Amino acid sequence: MAVNFVKVFNNIKSPQWFKLTQHLKLTQHLKLPKRILKPWQRFFSFFTSFQVHNHLNEPLKSDVGFTEGDPLNMPAMVILDWALYVYQVQYAPLTRTMSFINNISMMSRQVMHLVWAFFSLRAFLELWGLEININKSYTWGTIPQTRAMLGPLGLRVVKDVSELGGSLIFSAAARVRIFLKRGSRLEQKWARLRISKAPSSQKLMVLPMIFWASALHGALGCVFAKNHLYQLRKKAVAALAQILYSGFRFQLL
């Protein structure tokens, strides 16, 4: 099971988070010094007012969310992931929980253990004002019976999925359709490259920067037929036909 959260940095309850830092003594265990924690906490102790027709409402204290784009959001989420790990060890010890910042993966040999861990995770998220992003979360199983039992959770049950550019396969069949689909999405870009009046050198430079980077990202983690590369080269030759023809004509002259 892989679970993603809805706007995690915007919805974390900051007072509870700073209480957690005091309880865990992070200055010793996670090397997060007090000289950063204290001014960071004071920064969130501000009040907000809204102006409507030249009238201000009563000041409201900000107690939800971390600042958008703040690099400290990463260690903040790491600490929350650690708290989740400790929580799951206590309430769902038969399921392995792994965290990747705002993505949580859980695995178990028994379906009911995984189901228990899922509801334990939901209880933990309610403490922090967080919600599961249903559209970006999914479950998987290696046999049909497992997939059938996971269906009632309300999450997508997949046999393969794309993660970090590569393809994860949860069945005996080799599936790389998501990986191959990225190559088919380049049709519009191939057409634009074909009619572009940019210099030939610039056109050649965009091949690895734009086309190969988009179509082959994560290729080292996938197994696919050589025909896929052949089709990509064929598209490139068609888009750069004028350049290749000019070079061939120059050699003849």
For residues 150-189, b (16+ Cβ closer than 10 Å) or e, as one string? beebebbbbbbbbeebbbbbbeeeebbebbbeebeebeeb
139-169: pLDDT as tens digits: 888 888 888 888 888 888 888 777 766 677 7
Place of tokens 């997949």: 158
Q: Is 131 helix (H, G, I), strand (E, B) or coil?
A: coil
Phi first, then psi, for residue 174 (nearest 5°) are: -80, 115
Is residue 160 within 8 Å of 221, Cβ to Cβ? Answer: no
- Taking each helix axis as running N to C, give the angle between helix 177-184 and helix 226-239, from 0 to 180 degrees, rounded to the nearest 10: 10
Average pLDDT, the chain: 78
- Grade residue 25 by pLDDT with cuts at 50, 70 and 90: low
